[in-house]
């Protein structure tokens, strides 16, 4: 459940570390890690509707609440 992850700092940190390649990933974390680069670079052009919805929610949350993490994510996956 994305809301649970985004609203729980401990869970959020685990998923963020997974996405950044600095921690272990759950199956959901692996999926998100695979989707995030496409979401940032191409507005999720290869994503299913469900994936697009999830990545949009995560990225909007990060922009609103975790700007420093979003900047690191963007620099990693879309350095141009």
pTM across the whole model: 0.88
In this prediction, residue 80 carries a pLDDT of 72
Task: Give me the number of domains the chain comprises.
Answer: 1
Confidence of residue 78 (pLDDT cuts 50, 70, 90): confident
Look up the domain containing 7 and give its range: 2-77
CATH of the domain at 63: 1.10.2080.10
For 58, other C-beta atoms within 10 Å of its C-beta total 24
Question: Mean of the pLDDT values across residues 22-50?
Answer: 91
For residue range 39-67, list pLDDT tens digits in order.
888 888 989 999 999 999 999 999 999 99
Please report, rounded to a whole number, the percentage of residues in the chain having pLDDT higher than 90: 78
In this prediction, residue 79 carries a pLDDT of 80
Output the six-digit token pair for 19: 């996405």
In this prediction, residue 30 carries a pLDDT of 94
């Amino acid at each position: 459940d994305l809301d649970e992850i985004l609203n729980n700092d401990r869970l959020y940190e685990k998923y963020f570390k997974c996405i950044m390649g600095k921690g272990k990933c759950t199956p959901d974390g692996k999926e998100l890690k695979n989707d995030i680069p496409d979401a940032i670079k191409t507005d999720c052009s290869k994503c299913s509707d469900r994936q697009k919805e999830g990545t949009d929610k995560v990225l909007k949350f990060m922009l609103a609440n975790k700007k420093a993490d979003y900047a690191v994510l963007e620099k990693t996956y879309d350095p141009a």
